[in-house]
Structure 1
Amino acid sequence: MRQPGPPHRGPRLHSAGRPAGHRPRLLLENASGSRTIDFPADDQVAAALAAFTAAVAGTAPAVDGAHDLLAQADVLFAIRRAAAKNGAPPGS
């Protein structure tokens, strides 16, 4: 019998467990060779919390294309609403 795993604790930040000074490295490979890109260190948890705080406070900088994304979400919502009115099951 399979033993149950640990309880689900909700979403986690990908950088959990990485020290604030961690310098991520990206290795890109293709048919013509490879190259390595070293990224600067950044405390991802602190950065995520700062971005969330700015978004809640309304002080976050404008995001390019944000208006288009919101318009697309409105269209998708309208399509789902119309489908529901016509008897389509949720999520179809």
Structure 2
Amino acid sequence: MPSPASACTSAPGPATTAPPPDPRSSGHGDAASEEKSRRKAILIRAGIHILGTHLFAGSVLLLFALGNRHWTPSPNERRADVLCPAPSGH
């Protein structure tokens, strides 16, 4: 019967080591790609803010246009037109 200590040890095998770093992928390439991704993210964020601002402004203008279209003068304003008509230019 094998001893418990020998059952827990693994058989010796080839040592695994990390591959050497690629000389083409130095730290400079990573910094440049990170800078490009940051610029892209900023441009996307700016585009979303500009689009959102224009949609908000358009909805406000639409509310003003629709409100002006359905506006009816109050009775006091109608009476003022009848009592004080605009000069006819004669």
Query: TM-score, normalising length from structure 2?
Result: 0.29
Q: Specify the structure having the higher radius of gyration (Cα).
A: 2
Query: Relative to total residues, which structure has the larger strand share, 1 or 2?
Result: 1
Query: TM-score, normalising length from structure 1?
Result: 0.29
Query: Relative to total residues, which structure has the larger helix share, 1 or 2?
Result: 2
